[in-house]
């Protein structure tokens, strides 16, 4: 189970517990509704803050992974160019050996 679902489940359980606790409290209806509204806005703010923190964390991790991948791709391209250049140098050396054979000493 991912951390987002766990966090949402915990917050939903806490909110349900608060509402049930207030509903069973021995207060007048208007007082109970006021408490529910206060707690609801508090929980909503908390959920919003947790959501924002979660999305910021995900965004930061995505950006870091994207940057790392870009760096790896760049390194891979550089390595590929080096390999191609080395192969060309060896091919040119072989061409020179074929065009200008060295005499065999007998």
pLDDT tens digits, one per residue of 84-102: 999 999 999 999 888 888 8
For residue 34, tell me if it sits in a domain. yes
Q: Could you report the per-residue pLDDT of 35-77, keeping only the tens digit for each?
A: 777 777 777 778 888 888 889 999 999 999 999 999 999 999 9
- Regarding pTM above 0.85, the answer is no
Can you say how many angstroms the Cα of residue 39 is from the centroid of all Cα atoms in its chain?
A: 32
For residue 106, tell me if it sits in a domain. no
Give 37-46 contacts, CB < 8 A, sequence gap 24+: 39/15, 40/15, 43/11, 43/14, 43/15, 43/18, 46/11
For residue 42, tell me if it sits in a domain. yes
H/E stretch holding 102 reads none
For residue 104, tell me if it sits in a domain. no
What pLDDT is recorded for position 20? 77
For residue 51, tell me if it sits in a domain. yes
Give the total number of structural domains in the chain.
1
d(CA 35, CA 15): 12
Query: Whole domain around residue 41: which residue ranges?
Result: 3-99
């Amino acid at each position: 189970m991912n951390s987002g679902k766990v966090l949402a489940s915990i917050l939903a359980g806490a909110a349900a517990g608060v509402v049930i606790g207030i509903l069973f409290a021995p207060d007048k209806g208007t007082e109970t509704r006021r408490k529910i509204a206060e707690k609801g806005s508090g929980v909503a703010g908390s959920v919003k803050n947790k959501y924002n923190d979660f999305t910021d964390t995900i965004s930061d991790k995505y950006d870091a992974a994207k940057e790392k991948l870009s760096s790896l791709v760049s390194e891979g391209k550089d390595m590929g160019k080096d390999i191609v250049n080395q192969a060309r140098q060896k091919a040119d050396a072989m061409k020179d050996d074929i065009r200008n054979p060295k005499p065999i000493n007998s």
